[in-house]
Amino acid sequence: MESQSQSRAVRGVVSTLQLSSSCRHAVKKELKLSQAQPAVAKWGLNGRTDPETFKSCVPLVTHKDLESYIHRIADGDISPILTGKPITTISLSSGTTQGKPKFVPFNEELVSSTMQIYRTSFAFRNREFPIVNGMALQFIYGSKQFKTKGGLAAGTATTNVYRSSQFKNTMKSIQSQCCSPDEVIFGPDFHQSLYCHLLCGLIYYDEVQTVSSTFAHSIVHSFRTLERVWEELCNDIRAGVLSSRVTVPSIRAAMSKLLKPNPELADLIYKKISGLSNWYGIIPELFPNAKYIYGIMTGSMEPYLKKLRHYAGGLPLLSADYGSSEGWIGANVNPMLPPEQATFAVLPDIGYFEFIPLQDWNASSILCNESDPVGLTDVKVGEEYEIIITNFAGLYRYRLGDVVKVIGFHNSTPELQFICRRNLLLTINIDKNTEKDLQLAVEEASKLLLEEKIEVVDFTSYVDFSTDPGHYVIFWELSGEASEEVLNKSCDCLDQSFVDAGYVGSRKTKAIGALELRVVERGTFQKILDHFLVLGAAVSQFKTPRCVGPSNTKVLQILCDNVAKSYFSNAFAT
């Protein structure tokens, strides 16, 4: 049985399809020109708007299937290709999985559903941690916006949202106004914007009620930066003069309105920071009225939790909602759960959702031998699924590529736990290791570094097929110099920590070669971030790719160019 709101959602999106087919004349004319068929008018819904017809007529698609249609839109074709109403904005996905950002249609409906999800999860958070007249230290950044060949505005989905008028109103109403001016958020240089976000936070230190970013990575990155620049920030506050490192005129002008000489505040910050032990609890120390830290902390963000907890001291970490450039999916309605257990209640009316059951799935089954998708209310607790989205911006039965597990129901809507990206897998033959398996292996091996007080700053992996047999390569950036002995042991431990039977069996029979640990120079992951920023990604949306695929050549090159040392495991030597 489809829930009522899901039926409403399908009627909503199908009426978009109707519009497409009702414009036959324009479509035919356009067909003659391009010899291409419009993406959805061809499926013959003939006015029917029920979910069964929708499912039987419209096939499942991936981004690749829609790429040519999206590019026609981006190139200025205003015929009803995917939506009746022309698309005027394009979102860029972070691109960390494939190596380059994907183009995704964006419209006002997606802005509205973003606001809906923001308000929904805020209502649940606010029950537990009420906020009054709050200011938010938000590490958010607009990416570069550019015009496509056809003149459409293009930027990351988060940038498109931050630029919308609805965003400011919503932030005001949920007491989450950013303490930094727009010039900082939309500044052209990420490093300068980050410095000024920190400065604004310190200026409003006693008004800050939440510290947030889209993804936890960005919060950790911000406080790692604070560790380096805090004295300079204090100097700026003392003298009321912005550091010469900030050169963008619009940012300097906006900051000069906020920055006044304040030696008392500079002394206070100096004292607070000097009293800390290894930066533990820096966030509540600097922002005594902060109620919680907020951002996406699940999936590829989990590895940053340890460091975030260190900076947070006792301050609660509340994990944010689940969505993508293609649209939002679920809100965190149980904010008190630790981030590792966060679940997301699907908002049934922000799209039409289907779920492909995944029993014993693996990378090679991605396009074959799968069960039919089931509806939102037909999913089973404990089972894993791949999500299919139909949204209001021209995506129909679109495979998002994420794997989720149903944990329970909130009223009648499922609560999902994010498991992993489906295609992010380390696999050579019968082995399959997910992003999560990699994370657990790294967590286990990094315990060995503790005795030398060293931590893994960031990590990623890839499969090296240039050797015979192929082998897993794990890249680590470390906070200091670890001894050879510890690194050799860590390498063995990584190899042993992949417990998947296919991997262990293949290692024993030498069908997979010894795991290789490559330690990269400090700053390598910053270079990867900078590379994505040049491509048009935004820090707000950045996710370190945990497995570098063969198409991600530039990232692989950055990693390989910066290898300082490498080790091979002896774990299965005998």
- Contacts with ligand AMP, residue ranges (CB under 6 A): 93-94, 157, 296, 298-299, 322-325, 400, 402, 418, 421, 541
Cis omega (within 30 of 0) on the bond before 469?
yes
Distance of closest approach, residue 337 Cβ to ligand AMP, in angstroms? 13
**Cα 256 from Cα 564, distance rounded (Å):** 43
Distance of closest approach, residue 550 Cβ to ligand AMP, in angstroms? 20
Q: By C-beta, is 14 or 318 nearer to ligand AMP? A: 318
Q: By C-beta, is 94 or 490 nearer to ligand AMP? A: 94
Q: How far is CA 57 from CA 106, 207, 556, in A?
A: 24, 55, 41
Distance of closest approach, residue 400 Cβ to ligand AMP, in angstroms? 6
Q: By C-beta, is 9 or 387 nearer to ligand AMP? A: 387
Distance of closest approach, residue 343 Cβ to ligand AMP, in angstroms? 10
Q: By C-beta, is 159 or 243 nearer to ligand AMP? A: 159
Neighbours of 534 (CB within 10 A): 10
The strand pair at 352-357 and 456-464 is best described as unpaired
CA 9 remoteness from chain centre: 25
Phi and psi at 510, nearest 5°, equal 65, 25
**Cα 118 from Cα 169, distance rounded (Å):** 12
Distance of closest approach, residue 27 Cβ to ligand AMP, in angstroms? 30
Q: By C-beta, is 103 or 195 nearer to ligand AMP? A: 103
Cα atoms in the Cβ-side hemisphere of radius 13 Å centred on 445: 31
Residue 169, classified by CB atoms within 10 Å of its CB into exposed (0-12), middle (13-18) or buried (19+), is: exposed
Distance of closest approach, residue 91 Cβ to ligand AMP, in angstroms? 8
Q: By C-beta, is 279 or 532 nearer to ligand AMP? A: 532
CA 132 remoteness from chain centre: 29
Q: Would you state the torsion angle of the CA atoms of residues 363, 365, 366, 370, taken in this order, to the nearest 10 degrees? A: -150
**Cα 419 from Cα 406, distance rounded (Å):** 10
Q: By C-beta, is 196 or 400 nearer to ligand AMP? A: 400
Q: Kindly state the tokens that stand for 117.
A: 């999800």
Q: By C-beta, is 26 or 153 nearer to ligand AMP? A: 153
Q: By C-beta, is 78 or 535 nearer to ligand AMP? A: 535
Distance of closest approach, residue 481 Cβ to ligand AMP, in angstroms? 33
CB 304 within 8 A of CB 317: no
Q: By C-beta, is 115 or 237 nearer to ligand AMP? A: 115
**Cα 135 from Cα 206, distance rounded (Å):** 9
Instruction: Count how many residues are written for the chain.
Output: 574
CB 159 within 8 A of CB 165: no
Distance of closest approach, residue 263 Cβ to ligand AMP, in angstroms? 42
Distance of closest approach, residue 108 Cβ to ligand AMP, in angstroms? 18
Distance of closest approach, residue 193 Cβ to ligand AMP, in angstroms? 19
Phi and psi at 295, nearest 5°, equal 170, 170
Distance of closest approach, residue 296 Cβ to ligand AMP, in angstroms? 4
Distance of closest approach, residue 136 Cβ to ligand AMP, in angstroms? 19
Q: By C-beta, is 354 or 495 nearer to ligand AMP? A: 354
Strands (E) located in 371-502: 374-375, 384-390, 398-410, 413-421, 456-464, 471-478
Q: By C-beta, is 138 or 562 nearer to ligand AMP? A: 138
* Single-letter amino acid code for the residue at 249: P
In the sheet that 563-568 helps form, which strands lie side by side, from edge to edge?
A: 456-464, 471-478, 516-520, 563-568
Q: Which residue is nearest to ligand AMP (CB)?
A: 299
**Cα 97 from Cα 154, distance rounded (Å):** 20
Q: By C-beta, is 95 or 348 nearer to ligand AMP? A: 95
**Cα 545 from Cα 97, distance rounded (Å):** 6
Angle CA(455)–CA(459)–CA(571) in degrees, nearest 5? 85
Phi and psi at 45, nearest 5°, equal -75, -25
CB 219 within 8 A of CB 315: no
Q: How far is CA 240 from CA 180, 201, 260, 303, 316, in A?
A: 16, 15, 4, 38, 33
Radius of gyration of the chain (CA): 25
Q: By C-beta, is 201 or 536 nearer to ligand AMP? A: 536
- Among 362, 545, 549, 573, which residue's Cα sits nearest to residue 463? 549
Distance of closest approach, residue 137 Cβ to ligand AMP, in angstroms? 20
Distance of closest approach, residue 347 Cβ to ligand AMP, in angstroms? 13
